[in-house]
Structure 1
Amino acid sequence: MTDQQHKTSVTVIGLGAMGQALAGAFLRAGHPTTIWNRTPGKGDDLVAAGATRAGTAAEAARASDLVVVCLYDYEVSRAVLGPVAADLAGRVLVNLTSDTPERSREAAAWAAEHGIAYLDGAILVPVTVIGTADALLFHSGPRAVYERHESTLKVLGGNTVYLGEDHGLAAVYDNALLDFFWTSMYGLVHAFALAGADGVKGAELAPYMSALLSIFPAAVESTAVEVDSGEYPGDQAPLVTEAANVDHVIHASVHRGLDVEALNGIKAVLDRAIARGQGADGWTAIIEAIRTPEARAH
């Protein structure tokens, strides 16, 4: 028996850039790999490397013990998987399609109705990092199902994390981290635009941006403590002072003809927090203004 025959067979449905990276990682690790995509013309390199191209989604579903899906969103995922539910019965389905926790839980309920063991997942790295020790992926769902295929799933990334039984947890973590990433990236680009309006090149500002990042690890840790405790010390930098600083940036941006929609949103949250009587609290106190009354009740 060859080494490949000892490996779990895997099907990858969805051959966008990420899907191809996933299939490639499985192939490199010696897993018999079947691939399928809704539109033809993708995956030739994978076939050349040893993958089997299925003719239909049903054939792809039946080909392997473990079926991994990576599509645009859960609407597309449901459209692809719905017609092949019977072919997936008795197999393990791992959905690495990004979406919301609600859709993840709905997908899990659908899978349970059709006798499909289901794990939800999220990929937190770009295509080029898949299959490396640094690749971060989250999984949530039944622990027994995850543990059965843990070694296979870790082929996709050395930093593969199981979060718990709730199928929505992978999406919860994914959404939260992407929230931080995209708002931070917007701020980064906006800062370059603000400095650039006065003739400062991006390369001239970049070293100071990088230096500023050094405070973030400690800020993340302290903010986590404060949001969990509900205590927001503001003796060094109260919200009223920070609100004035944000106002200065807004005024400078408007004067230079830059978009300030995101900054106005930040200022609105600060104003609501101050109106709630939290002007002497620290920055983290804005979480009370970010949350809806319903969320605060829980």
Structure 2
Amino acid sequence: MAGDNRTPVTVIGLGSMGRALAEAFIDAGHPTTVWNRTPGKAAPLVARGAVHAEAVETAVAASPLVITCLTTFEDTRRALEPAAVALNGRALTTLNSGSPAGARETDAWAAGHGARFLAGAVKNVPSAVGAADTLLYYSGDKTVFDEYETTLRVLGGDTVHLGGEADLAALYEMSVGAILLPALVGFFQGAAAVQARGLEAGTMVRFAGKWLDMIKSLLPVYAKEIDSGDYTDAASSVNLFLEGAAYDEELARETNVDAAWLAPLHDLVKRAADAGHGDHSISALTEVLRKPAQAV
């Protein structure tokens, strides 16, 4: 596909996700320049049509839109420091992990070097980059998003600008990401319990998927309860979960599985009951998770 009328793009960082981003731009016909601390990672992309810049300064100067895919905001600033002068007048978009504070600091750093900043997050695995339903969200300079939205949509069809505050993407990245580890550890514990009976973990997959679908269907209900502060319509109460804790412990003993990771969760449920939420919806745990505002 000819790239004459397509925005040139530079991709900094060629791990599994960065490589997938660069491949998507190449396949869509965008002139693509790549750079990585380990130059050898660029070779497969060069074979597909990318230009490998030996210096990060050259990579940044090659395109009006610079997309970084490094581990953290701190890593991004460190990698780009030698190219700080070249950032002037360019659009810098970060697709990495990190805190809202890191996003704010990078926004200020970019502005100090004359760059327009857009922070983003890819909410899927590298193999899903470019798919119509792959979600990416961004926050920060809306002029960058508006100018390059068509280019950014190459990475995923579900592309959203959250707002002008540079840290919103990081806030949602971490808030949504908090779901992942507890869900995975729950599956891993279940897999160990099933294997204790001589069964394969694969036999759980169909049922676990249905369970996750059910949980997904409840999220709008719980969000409404949390936003309204009304937890009285309890389809699943705090007390119900409190009673279930004993069965979790019983199954752990029977299957010889370490379920110690559940103890803080059970404690959270007990604290909610002690705070008067026993008959309320389990979403009332949000009230226990909130810490009182500190006096200034």
Q: TM-score range by the shorter chain?
A: over 0.9
Matches within 5 A, 1:28-177: 28-177=27-176
Over 3 Å counting, the alpha-carbon distance change for 1:4 and 1:60 in structure 2 is same
Deviations 1:126-184 (A, max 9, x none): 11111121221111112112101111111111111111101111112211222112221
2: CA distance, partners of 1:42 / 1:235: 53
> In the alignment, which residue of structure 2 is the partner of 1:274?
273
Over 3 Å counting, the alpha-carbon distance change for 1:109 and 1:133 in structure 2 is same
Determine if the alignment matches structure 1 residue 259 to structure 2 residue 258. yes
> In the alignment, which residue of structure 2 is the partner of 1:224?
223
Determine if the alignment matches structure 1 residue 199 to structure 2 residue 198. yes
Query: Which structure 2 residue ranges, 5 or more long, are not aligned?
Result: none
Equivalent pairs counted in the alignment come to: 295
Return the TM-score normalized by structure 2.
0.94
Check conservation: 2:121, 2:138, Cα contact below 8 A: yes
2: CA distance, partners of 1:198 / 1:217: 29
2: CA distance, partners of 1:4 / 1:143: 25
Check conservation: 2:234, 2:282, Cα contact below 8 A: no
User: Percent of aligned pairs with the same residue?
Assistant: 37
After TM superposition, give the deviation of residue 40 of structure 1 in Å: 2.0
After TM superposition, give the deviation of residue 256 of structure 1 in Å: 3.5
> In the alignment, which residue of structure 1 is the partner of 2:184?
185
Stretch moving more, 164-173 or 252-261: 252-261
Deviations 1:194-219 (A, max 9, x none): 23223343233333323333422321
After TM superposition, give the deviation of residue 236 of structure 1 in Å: 4.4
Check conservation: 2:39, 2:54, Cα contact below 8 A: no
Over 3 Å counting, the alpha-carbon distance change for 1:206 and 1:96 in structure 2 is closer
Give 3-state SS (helix, strand or coil) of 1:233's partner: coil
2: CA distance, partners of 1:135 / 1:251: 40
Deviations 1:217-254 (A, max 9, x none): 32111111111111112554431231110232023214
Over 3 Å counting, the alpha-carbon distance change for 1:135 and 1:41 in structure 2 is same
Return the TM-score normalized by structure 1.
0.93
Give 3-state SS (helix, strand or coil) of 1:41's partner: helix
After TM superposition, give the deviation of residue 77 of structure 1 in Å: 1.1
1: CA distance, partners of 2:213 / 2:97: 30
Over 3 Å counting, the alpha-carbon distance change for 1:235 and 1:179 in structure 2 is closer
Over 3 Å counting, the alpha-carbon distance change for 1:84 and 1:212 in structure 2 is same
> In the alignment, which residue of structure 2 is the partner of 1:283?
282
1: CA distance, partners of 2:162 / 2:3: 29
Check conservation: 1:105, 1:168, Cα contact below 8 A: yes
1: CA distance, partners of 2:14 / 2:152: 18
> In the alignment, which residue of structure 1 is the partner of 2:7?
8
Check conservation: 1:92, 1:117, Cα contact below 8 A: yes
Query: Which structure 1 residue ranges, 5 or more long, are not aligned?
Result: none
Give 3-state SS (helix, strand or coil) of 1:75's partner: helix
2: CA distance, partners of 1:294 / 1:260: 33
After TM superposition, give the deviation of residue 69 of structure 1 in Å: 0.2
